[in-house]
Amino acid sequence: MTDSAPHTPRLYVETLPVGDIRLLIPLIDSRDPLLWIRKGQGMAGIGTALRLEFSGESRIVDACARWREVADAATVVNPLGSPGTGLIAFGAFAFAGDSALPSVLIVPRLIIGKRDGQFWVTKVTVLQPGETVPGDHPSLPAGRQLGEEYRISLLPGASKPDSYRDAVEKAVAHILAGDLEKVVLARDLVGHLPEGADLRRVITDLALGYPDCWTFAVDGLIGSSPETLVRVDHGTVSARVLAGTISRGRDAEADHDQAVALATSAKDLDEHRFAVASVLTALSPHSRTLITSEIPFTLKLPNLWHLASDVEGALSDGSTSLDLIASLHPTAAVAGTPTPDALRLIGELEPFDRGRYAGPVGWVGADGDGEWAVALRCAQVAGNGDITAYAGAGIVAESQPEHEFLETRMKFRPIVEAFG
Ligand SMILES: C=C(O[C@@H]1C=C(C(=O)O)C=C[C@H]1O)C(=O)O
């Protein structure tokens, strides 16, 4: 844990219901946006009341413990009690324990939320010694117009197209040799953000283009993910597992044929089976009532079809959403099977640090409830404006390098188009 604060800050958190908020994106910072929305609902954050950093293999477990201390020490005035109200932290965790990028939990100074016809503002104050109540109450900030339009091309980074195809070939050879069953290999694209560029433009494009996905912005990690790693809400747990992908068809008939081809593809069903099994194995110690359908369904996104399975259950051990992401990450949808062998091969074949790509991104509340997605279809924007986008594909025995390369190209589309 890199957060070395000797004491736990005392947060004073006050939520107030407010009138209709039409749009959240105009409210957030143009260069350091904090956001979590789906179908226009969710939370926006402004400023930083508290930033906790974690690293190493124990980064998620450390975050669980530290968050409990922070929540226990906080005074929360919250007349609403619904998800996202009161004290929350936005979070993004690195995929790997040896990543150079820290994992973070960020408590904003101001949180603005909308959900199921309810609108609220939460103000977070770090109390000074002796202080018991801050002077002022939460109030709605004014939105600001988006900055000028810009277009950025994202080009191959450390992983060039040919080296990606080679890596897939090597991975298939390992699988055929019996070293492992599945590995997810990613590649990267890079670009640079112009001085003064307003990231809310990219976020608006993602949110409008992919309304059914989680559009997120946390510590420079920006994207729109279709995959719910885990959601905890008053004792219930749910997840949406995705693995298995095919392109959309050119017209309605071809599109339908593509969905049928995906739903009957032995290769994709195999990939999917590994992913569902890894989620069930991770969640079953925490829930005795997990339900998932026998066969996956096809999920239609603007850029592709996925095989999907929803998992749901009642929590039997009071786990928080952070406890569960510690158990779940990394799933076979983004690492492979068996996990240790897949991680070793990723380290060997991917010529870059994944950073927070394919790690958990989301939010946690004071009671531990929260929503976490797998950070996919995303890019990390560094403080100096450097942009790195990532996309990967699950490799199994039947995988073909060119096919997997084209699959990553489809998965890059949301982020490439939002910047481009
Ligand atoms: C690895 C990614 O996606 C994951 C891999 C998938 C697959 O291999 O079919 C599908 C959805 C995701 O679980 C990515 O988008 O980068």
* Strand ranges for 262-411 from DSSP E: 291-292, 297-300, 304-314, 336-337, 360-365, 370-374, 378-381, 386-395
Mutate to test the pocket of ligand 1, among 181, 242, 278, 412 (most ligand atoms within 8 A of CB): 242
What sign has the CA pseudo-torsion 73, 78, 82, 84? negative
Structural domain including 295 reads 11-134+151-419
Quick one: pLDDT at residue 142? 87
The answer to whether residue 139 sits within a structural domain is: no
- 196, with CB counted inside 10 A (0-12, 13-18, 19+), is exposed
Q: Are 279 and 337 spatial neighbours (Cβ–Cβ below 8 Å)?
A: no
Tokens of 50: 């508290």
Residue 74 Cα to ligand 1 midpoint, Å, equals 38
Domain count, the chain: 1
Length of the chain: 420
Q: Are 308 and 299 spatial neighbours (Cβ–Cβ below 8 Å)?
A: yes
The answer to whether residue 145 sits within a structural domain is: no
pLDDT digits (tens, 9 = 90+) for 224-283: 999 999 999 999 999 999 999 999 999 999 999 999 999 999 999 988 999 999 999 999
Name the closest-CA residue to atom 9, ligand 1: 244
Q: How far is CA 34 from CA 108, 112, 362, 366, 385, in A?
A: 8, 11, 10, 18, 17
Q: Write out the catalytic residue numbers.
A: 182, 227
Residue 166 Cα to ligand 1 midpoint, Å, equals 19
Q: Span 311-319, mean pLDDT?
A: 96
CATH (domain of 198): 3.60.120.10
Buried b (16+ CB within 10 A) or exposed e, 76-89: bebebeebbbbbbb
The answer to whether residue 47 sits within a structural domain is: yes
Q: Output the ligand 1 site: residues, CB below 6 A.
A: 184, 186, 227, 242-245, 271, 306, 333-334, 376-377, 391-394, 411
The answer to whether residue 318 sits within a structural domain is: yes
Q: Span 185-196, mean pLDDT?
A: 96
Quick one: pLDDT at residue 286? 97
Between CA 369 and CA 392 the distance in angstroms is 29
Quick one: pLDDT at residue 6? 55
| 1: pLDDT strictly greater than 70 | no
The answer to whether residue 129 sits within a structural domain is: yes
pLDDT digits (tens, 9 = 90+) for 29-40: 999 999 999 999
The answer to whether residue 212 sits within a structural domain is: yes
- pLDDT above 90 covers a percentage of the chain that reads 92
The answer to whether residue 142 sits within a structural domain is: no
Q: Span 357-361, mean pLDDT?
A: 98
Quick one: pLDDT at residue 7? 84
The answer to whether residue 245 sits within a structural domain is: yes
| 5: pLDDT strictly greater than 70 | no
CB atoms within 10 A of CB 340: 10
Residue 244 Cα to ligand 1 midpoint, Å, equals 7
Question: For the chain, what is the radius of gyration of the CA atoms?
Answer: 21
Between CA 118 and CA 19 the distance in angstroms is 8
Nearest to 66, CA basis, from 278, 301, 364, 357:
364
